[in-house]
Amino acid sequence: MASSNLAHAQTAKPRPSDLELVALNGMFDEKDGLSVLRHALTGDVSPAPIAMVSSFGADSSVLLHMVAQINPNQEVLFLETGKHFAETLEYIEITKKHLGLTNVRFLEPDTKDVERFDPKGNLWETDPDSCCHIRKTEPLDAALKTYGGWVTGRKRFQTNDRGVLPHFELTTDERIKVNPLAYWDNDDVAAYRKAHDLPAHPLFLKGFLSIGCEPCTSVVKEGEDPRSGRWRGKDKTECGIHFDVSGKIAHPTVEIGQKPMNLFKNGAFVADLWRDLKEDEAVTDLDHVHIPFDVYLENREEIDANPRDLGLILRPGDDVDALGEAAKQFSSIVVEFPAFTDGRGYSYARLLRERYNYEGELRARGDILTDQVAYFLRCGFDALTVQNEATKKALQNDDLGSVNLFMQPIGASQEVPVGTRPFLRRAK
Ligand code: SF4
């Protein structure tokens, strides 16, 4: 399984506070698209740079023209899914030349993911969500690792779901999406294109009002929603890159700020992007869900075939050796500590890290006490789900204690001072 949004949450630099983002939207409410884009690409909206992403679709020339005015050498990311119309690839060259853009980077899917999950190239037909995940979400996730967010060409009028789109929004993985054209409609786009004599996508002239991959794009008939030609006949309206990992369109940050933050990672409490599998919930189409180990064993084939980021829940009594090397396919593993006196979870962590070389997120969960924290670190945990208020307070104050009584050797690796471990790095 390739990179995860959660991994980004770990590496992303601090984003503006909830209030700052609300103020930013207020400040730019009346501003034109160029001002919003300029602020995104050259201002201080985020400590890490904001990426420019373009589909080179029907309306893309507007934003790209604005980019060229701000900086023609700006990197522009394009998701080369391998399923585009030949006309789109041609249009990229035409647009680059017309606008003088020098730095268009193609993002391609991981060939191993494609070989494993879409060997016949027809996944779009049977499971378009997974197809988009492999060909769009994962490559974009990987490319955005060094960015604090990205620019999109989404507009409010395009679909009902986008009707409340702000200029600046926060995703649950703490990134900022910038939508300079959020308030634009078709007439605005057409007027801008005409005023600046911008080349049209060859398929736009043939009735394709929203252009994506060839198998999933069709002509839009008069009176239809402009995006109705995408995934026609399927229960799908977005490709996944515009969803947050809970499957919802990213909302402005005020909603995020209201969720309790119990996940401690990299020295701070951060938004938790995962949930547990519900009782009797089907194991199909899961993403960022922790699955109990017994459910995994019963549905192993189906879960192993899911290309998205999945997690596992281990409880006392579960046989970690039965999981073995398969642990590596999970992006996150939760080890439950139902009672302070039950130490089996520590051994599970050691086994996963030392015997099975598990490198993903390893979470301890339970009524975690401050005194346990150093032992969790020592055994390889790099995240804690903390409900105990006293422990929360101690963690917030960097009061983590230390391991001064080694009950067991820690294996071949050298002991590393607690303060130098990634777990303890506090984002500045
Ligand atoms: S738009 Fe269609 S072909 Fe393109 S990645 Fe998504 S499902 Fe696959």
Q: How many domains does the chain have?
A: 2
Residues 293 and 225 in one domain: no
Residues 225 and 270 in one domain: no
Which of the four pLDDT bands, split at 50, 70 and 90, describes residue 83? very high
Residues 88 and 142 in one domain: yes
379 is in an annotated binding site: no
Q: How far apart are CA 283 and CA 300, in angstroms?
A: 10
- Residue 238, in any domain of the structure: no
Of 176, 208, 229, the residue that ends a domain is 229
Spatial CA neighbour of 352 closest among 381, 395, 310? 381
Instruction: Return the DSSP state at 285.
Output: T
213 C-beta closer than 6 A to ligand 1: yes
- Residues 49-73 have pLDDT tens digits of 999 999 998 889 999 999 999 999 9
Residues 204 and 282 in one domain: no
Among 55-69, 128-142, 296-310, 402-416, the range scoring the smallest mean pLDDT is 402-416
- Residue 239, in any domain of the structure: no
Domain carrying residue 123: 6-229
Residues 209 and 282 in one domain: no
Residue of minimum CA distance from atom 5 in ligand 1: 132
Q: What is the percent of the chain where pLDDT is above 70?
A: 78
Of 203, 229, 255, the residue that ends a domain is 229
- Residues 228-287 have pLDDT tens digits of 777 776 666 666 555 443 444 333 333 333 346 688 877 777 666 788 999 889 998 788
215 C-beta closer than 6 A to ligand 1: yes
What residues act catalytically? 239
Residue of minimum CA distance from atom 6 in ligand 1: 132
Instruction: Return the DSSP state at 187.
Output: H
135 C-beta closer than 6 A to ligand 1: yes
Q: How far apart are CA 360 and CA 363, in angstroms?
A: 10
CATH number, residue 307: 3.40.50
212 C-beta closer than 6 A to ligand 1: yes
pLDDT score, position 301: 92
Of 186, 209, 229, the residue that ends a domain is 229
Q: Which of 56, 81, 129 to probe ligand 1 with, by most ligand atoms within 8 A of CB?
A: 81
Residues 317 and 204 in one domain: no
Q: Which of 79, 124, 138, 208 to probe ligand 1 with, by most ligand atoms within 8 A of CB?
A: 124
Residues 268 and 220 in one domain: no
Residues 166 and 282 in one domain: no
- Residue 123, in any domain of the structure: yes
- Residue 363, in any domain of the structure: yes
Q: How far apart are CA 322 and CA 309, in angstroms?
A: 21
Atom of ligand 1 nearest to the CA of 240: 6
- Residue 161, in any domain of the structure: yes
Residues 58 and 168 in one domain: yes
- Residue 256, in any domain of the structure: no
Q: Which two tokens stand for residue 238?
A: 């977005």
Among 2-11, 77-86, 342-351, 395-404, the range scoring the smallest mean pLDDT is 2-11
